[in-house]
Amino acid sequence: MNKKEIDNKSIGYNLLRTYTKFIFRRYYKKYETHNAKSVKQNKPIIFALNHQNALMDALAVVHAVKSQPVFLARSDIFRNPVQAKILNFFKIMPIYRIRDGAENVKKNDEVFEKTMNVLRNKKSPLGIMPEGMHGDKRRLRPLVKGVFRIALLAQQEYGKTRKCSLCPLA
């Protein structure tokens, strides 16, 4: 999938959704979705997910919403070229952190522009894990600034003419 078209509809993504429905039914005794119908699919929205279970957090969103969310993930998982293609296919873009190399942080300008395109086109919600990590402890960790920077960029772009929602998910 071309990165410029990351928010276009994808048959592979629909296959992923079918697979996640199977997995969720098989491995989780109880799975609840609350207020999913109140999420407007025709306006820009940023999902800020709690990040306890690594990939399962994002798959829960894929399972719960009808649209095809685009996610941001730490850049080090994109180092392997084959893995990077798979991640791009599933609409996951790299986000660069200081700990991944200060010289790489400049690449975030391009990533932020792509996130604005996703929000502008309103085809897909944007998913980001503002805790910036996952782990064993069931608690909210300090939030990193990326989700807020993207929300502020969206607010600057839209002003009062259009709203971009920031939707917390747990």
Question: Where along the chain do its domains lie?
Answer: 42-169
- Looking at residue 78, what is its pLDDT? 94
Q: Give yes or no for a contact between 28 and 148, defined as CB atoms under 8 angstroms apart.
A: no
Question: What are the backbone angles phi and psi of residue 127, rounded to the nearest 5°?
Answer: -110, 130
Give the chain's largest Cα–Cα span: 45
Which residue, 10, 32, 67, is CA-closest to 169? 32
Residue pointed to by tokens 């998913």: 127
- Tokens coding 125: 């919600």
- Give me the half-sphere count of Cα atoms (radius 13 Å) on the Cβ side of residue 99: 4
Residue pointed to by tokens 């730490």: 74
Length of the chain measured in residues: 170
- pLDDT tens string, the chain, 170 residues long: the values are 444 578 788 888 888 888 888 888 888 888 777 777 777 767 888 888 876 666 777 777 887 788 888 999 889 889 999 999 988 888 899 999 888 788 888 898 999 999 988 888 877 888 888 765 555 666 666 667 778 888 888 888 877 777 788 887 77
For residues 99 and 104, give the distance between their C-alpha atoms in angstroms, rounded to a whole number. Answer: 10
pTM: 0.81
Domain 42-169 has CATH 3.40.1130.10: yes
When computed from its CA atoms, the radius of gyration of the chain, rounded to whole angstroms, is 16
- Looking at residue 2, what is its pLDDT? 47
- Looking at residue 133, what is its pLDDT? 59
